[in-house]
Amino acid sequence: MLKNGTYAAWFRTPLADGTGIVHVADGRLWGSDAIMLYSGTYEVDGERFSAVLTTRRHSEGHATVFGTDDLVVRLDGVFSGAIAICKGRADAVPDLAFEVTLMPSHEAPPEPPPDLPMPKFDPSKLPKLPKRSSR
């Protein structure tokens, strides 16, 4: 089931592949990668879901996985455990197959509290350089 949260996205077409981050919450999705922004909506039916999203370039750079910018993309997906596999097409290039794998992102462990004492520096624990031979 597609749960609210943040997902790492691996997307690919026969032209190229890439990665990005997708946020999902209550029927809406949005995200970005190095050159594109995407946003849209999704519907869930058990382990299956469908999404429609639009893409827009935010930075100059390489070509997109579709070879063109500013698209409407339609996806159908199914969850297998925690990972979702999606397939779809962009309206502007309907003959180009598009696949996406979504993997839930896990929050990083919290940093240690700042009031913990720093370990003492002990230079004797540093590796020793080999002695130079005298000539």
Break the chain into its structural domains and give their ranges: 5-106
Structure confidence by residue, pLDDT tens digits, 70-95: 899 999 999 888 899 999 999 999 99
Q: What is the mean pLDDT of the chain?
A: 89
The pLDDT, as a whole number, for residue 89 is: 95
The topology (CATH level 3) of 5-106 is Lipocalin (2.40.128)
**Quick count: other Cβ atoms within 10 Å of Cβ 79?**
17
Structure confidence by residue, pLDDT tens digits, 17-42: 999 999 999 999 999 999 999 999 99
CA distance 115 to 28: 40
Is the pLDDT at 108 greater than 70, yes or no? Answer: no
Q: What percent of the chain has pLDDT over 90?
A: 61
C-alpha closest to that of 24 among 45, 46, 49: 49
Q: Which amino acid is at 8?
A: A
29, 22 contact by CB (below 8 A):
yes
74, 100 contact by CB (below 8 A):
no
Q: What percent of the chain has pLDDT over 70?
A: 95
At 127, the pLDDT band (50, 70, 90 cuts) reads confident
The pLDDT, as a whole number, for residue 120 is: 86
The pLDDT, as a whole number, for residue 131 is: 80
C-alpha closest to that of 51 among 21, 87, 93: 87
